[in-house]
A and B are shown apart, each in its own frame.
Chain A
Amino acid sequence: KLRSGTSTSVNLANANPQYYAATPRVMLQTLNAETANSAHINKFMQIDDAFLESIGKGHYPGYLETDFKLFGQAALLYRNLTQQLVDQLSEYSKTAAPKKATVIDGKNGAGKSAELMKLASVASSSGHIVIYAHSTFPWVNSSRPYAPANEGDLFVQHELTMELLRTVLSLSKDALMKVPLGKNVTLGKKSLAADKTLADLVEFGIHTPSLAHDALEQLLAIASAQTKVPVLIALDNINTLWCNTLYRDQEDVVLPANRLRLIRAFLPFFEGKAALAKGWAVGATSYIDTRFMPKDLRLRLNPPAMIPITNPDVASDPNVKRPSTDVPFDVIKIDRMTATEAWALMVFYQKTSVISTPVTDALVSQKYVVADGNPRQIFGSVTAYF
């Protein structure tokens, strides 16, 4: 049965070498704190292998798995926006952190998850404490175990929290070891002395699943209050923090996300109720699974076109309500990519044999216009057969 062009293209990358040429490996610079500069704008860069190992190979956000499989390597375009984000990260690691978190928003396939991944990779190599979740869908889609908490009306997810702590430890062990706890921390029956470091706290949480949530909450509290090492909290699919989950309580009532202890640990940072002393909290929305995109949030992020009310009677009428665009975080909108970026994208596709035709102005213009500058749609159009 003939599958879609994209799927076939991706799978042919791993096909019989006797009949199919291997994907050529393009030599690229690795993205890290040193190479993340304006000299590499509009160039493809390789994501650090150590970073990929930390988040788990194959656990790529969004549609990136298909891309990386086709390229034969984890490579992303270093865009102008990426440089802006890196500059902001650098600024916040030196000066006071912003009061509000930042959320990267844009259409499907605009590059939100890719930007977050690049930012986390740069932060990890530059000595930040990085708390990066490449996807928060498993936190809410009832695919992982959960249990009612001992007290209150919250629910806990020990396995997921342990995995997150494991990722944190592998991404930023050195940074965690630089930060002492500063106070005696009691988790269950065990107490960690004040001279122990955050790395010990995270390791404790990993080895004691039932106390993983306590360890994570203590980690966030201590890391957000200290100014010795900057912190980056990067959560993809940030909209899940406000959605209705697929979990249900004992009375078979749908659980909202804020009744999950794991989500509750991060919610204050994105609602403006807690802030990092040094560092940055960034999220990226996702419209892949619309079950987890609350309608209210979608309207606030993408309000309908509103004509200004010029009639004073209508303007003063209290019954006339306009949709609210108030959100508790700053929004960075990713729009279409520039023509130069599209050109760099097509050149890379040509080098990795995704396309066999030479890259010309006409080809790039055609793909750019048809896809309206959306990277995902450009990728789809070069890999589809129709």
Chain B
Amino acid sequence: MLHLLGVNLPDQKVVSVALTYFYGIGPLTARKICSRLSFHRECKLSELTEGQLNQLSGVLSEMTIENDLKRQVSANVQHLRQIGTYVGKRHAMGLPVHGQKTRNNARTAKLLNGKMLRRYSTTPNTAFAMFSSPVSSKLE
């Protein structure tokens, strides 16, 4: 296993597949990284030289991935909540954000939405704290 930027990458895998093990890198981004560094399609991580690995680390460190990306996404959601947008409220209530129906389904949204808000919340832990407007909290 190759340890790169805090992530264990399987070195027997093809580079473009191994890069998807990073949070924030999917198949397309991985392919673009490989093209930029001129890694052929069937190149495995174990075949890369030290210089190539350094180049790869350099390119990855320029990108927002892993914890930086998670922090950014979390901050975006919190910002939406703080300015009192509809989307922010939906995140807070743990309901679908993009106009989906809630009569049935919406299981994923109920499970996952608002997790970041609940983890990082600074509002009082009262029954209706999630529903208070930012204005009223300032008046208090």
Contact = CB atoms under 8 A, between A and B. Distances in A.
B40 A143 contact: yes
A143 B42 contact: yes
Interface stretch (B30-38, B67-75, B88-96): B30-38
Interface in B12-66: 31-32, 34-36, 38, 40-43
A251 B38 contact: no
A155 interface: yes
B35 A248 contact: yes
A350 interface: no
B86 to A, nearest CB: 37
B35 A251 contact: yes
Nearest to B40: A142
B40 A250 contact: no
B62 to A, nearest CB: 14
Contact of A252 (B35, B42, B43): B35
A177 interface: no
A146 B32 contact: no
Interface residues of A, number: 16
Contact of B32 (A144, A148, A252): A252
Contact of B41 (A142, A155, A251): A142
Nearest to A250: B36
Contacts of B43: 145
A146 B38 contact: yes
A250 B32 CA distance: 8
B36 A252 contact: yes
Given A252-B31, A252-B32, A155 B38 contact: yes
Nearest to A141: B41
Q: Which of A144, A246, A252 has the most CB of B within 10 A?
A: A252
Nearest to A254: B35
Interface string A215-250: 000000000000000000000000000000011111
B41 A143 contact: yes
Nearest to B43: A145
B87 to A, nearest CB: 32
Contacts of A143: 40-42
A147 interface: yes
Contact of A250 (B35, B41, B42): B35
A249 B43 CA distance: 16
8 contacts: A142-B40, A143-B42, A144-B40, A145-B40, A146-B40, A155-B38, A250-B38, A252-B35
A-B pairs with the 7 shortest C-beta distances?
A: A142-B41, A248-B35, A252-B35, A142-B40, A143-B42, A252-B32, A250-B36
Given A141-B41, A144-B40, A250-B36, 13 more contacts: A142-B41, A142-B42, A143-B41, A143-B42, A145-B43, A146-B40, A147-B38, A155-B38, A247-B40, A249-B35, A250-B35, A251-B35, A252-B36
